[in-house]
């Protein structure tokens, strides 16, 4: 699915100067600190647990329960057993399918994620910009980022643990607690989605959402320039695996 062909799609991003122009445009439109999301392909804004294939109505709850049961032997600082929101935060950042969608406060970080993939070099990417304050205001009547304990946020969190096909057509932007180092360095923000409805398909979306196309042939140059600025895998994923992966691709002259 391509990015929406609508008035909010302003321009293509082919270079860092293009990206800076987009950032300035978005900050003028969304002055309260926008969030950003980069995608290597122009897929709809649907969290991973709601994407095909359909694995059954109890899939989401069952994988969450298994994660909670088995994580303590593998992770030194797990949330308390009943802290459902913090458990979902941890699941999301270790790539278990959840009803969260990742965002970042850093536009260049989002751009990096849109261009670094090795499997989508032939497809256009997309950079999304979100005003989480306006989105929460239009959907929940509160123009601010919701605390995890907010009643509207808690309702959406509890849907993740229901073994019934529980859905609600709403999305909320949440304050994220930095329970993992990745969340800090990636300047993480999260939206939680009550259903499989793409965020861009909500009637209010033009008020809080914009998208910008990144042509496939522009990705290598953008990736090189971002790496020169220090926006690279080993810094966004501060672990030995990504340090090794980033280092093995270096070249040295004799």
Where is pLDDT greater, at 6 or 223?
223
Beta-carbon neighbour count of residue 142 at 10 Å? 13
User: Angle of helix 16-29 relative to helix 107-115, nearest 10 degrees?
Assistant: 130
Residue 246 pLDDT? 67
Phi, psi of 173 (to 5 degrees): -90, 130
Residue 239 pLDDT? 66
Q: What is the pTM of this model?
A: 0.84
Encode pLDDT of 15-66 as tens digits: 999 999 999 999 999 999 999 999 999 899 999 998 888 888 789 999 999 9
Ranges of each domain in the chain:
9-246
Is the pLDDT assigned to residue 249 strictly greater than 60? yes
Structure tokens at 184: 């800090």
Q: Alpha helix locations (H) across 30-150? A: 59-70, 84-93, 107-115, 132-140
User: Angle of helix 107-115 relative to helix 219-228, nearest 10 degrees?
Assistant: 130
Looking up tokens 């804004």 gives: 45
For CA atoms 8, 20, 187, 90, give the dihedral sign: positive
What rounded mean pLDDT belongs to the chain? Answer: 86
Is the pLDDT assigned to residue 179 strictly greater than 70? no
CA 150 to each of CA 15, 175, 191: distance values in angstroms, whole numbers, following the listed order: 40, 10, 14
Structure tokens at 14: 């082919």
| Rounded CA separation 126/8 (Å) | 13
- Please state whether 98 falls in left (phi above 0), alpha (psi between -120 and 50) or beta: beta
């Amino acid at each position: 699915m391509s990015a929406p062909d609508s008035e909010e799609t302003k321009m293509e991003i082919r270079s860092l100067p293009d990206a800076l122009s987009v950032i300035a445009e978005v900050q003028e439109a969304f002055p309260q600190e926008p969030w950003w999301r980069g995608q290597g392909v122009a897929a709809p804004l649907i969290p991973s647990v709601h994407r095909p294939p359909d694995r059954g109505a109890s899939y989401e709850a069952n994988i969450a329960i298994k994660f909670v049961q088995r994580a303590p032997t593998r992770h030194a600082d797990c949330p308390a057993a009943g802290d459902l929101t913090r458990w979902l935060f941890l699941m999301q950042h270790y790539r278990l399918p959840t009803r969260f969608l990742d965002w970042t406060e850093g536009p260049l970080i989002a751009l990096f994620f849109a261009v670094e993939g090795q499997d989508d070099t032939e497809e256009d990417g997309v950079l999304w910009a979100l005003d989480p304050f306006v989105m929460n205001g239009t959907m929940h009547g509160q123009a601010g980022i919701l605390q995890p304990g907010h009643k509207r946020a808690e309702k959406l969190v509890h849907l993740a643990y229901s073994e019934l096909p529980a859905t609600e057509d709403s999305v909320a932007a949440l304050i994220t607690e930095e329970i993992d180092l990745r969340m800090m360095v990636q300047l993480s923000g999260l939206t939680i989605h009550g259903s499989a409805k793409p965020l861009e398909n909500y009637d209010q979306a033009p008020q809080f959402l914009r998208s910008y196309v990144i042509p496939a042939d522009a990705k290598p140059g953008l990736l090189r320039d971002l790496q020169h600025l220090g926006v690279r895998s080993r810094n966004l994923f501060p672990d030995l695996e990504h340090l090794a992966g980033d280092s093995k691709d270096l070249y040295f002259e004799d």
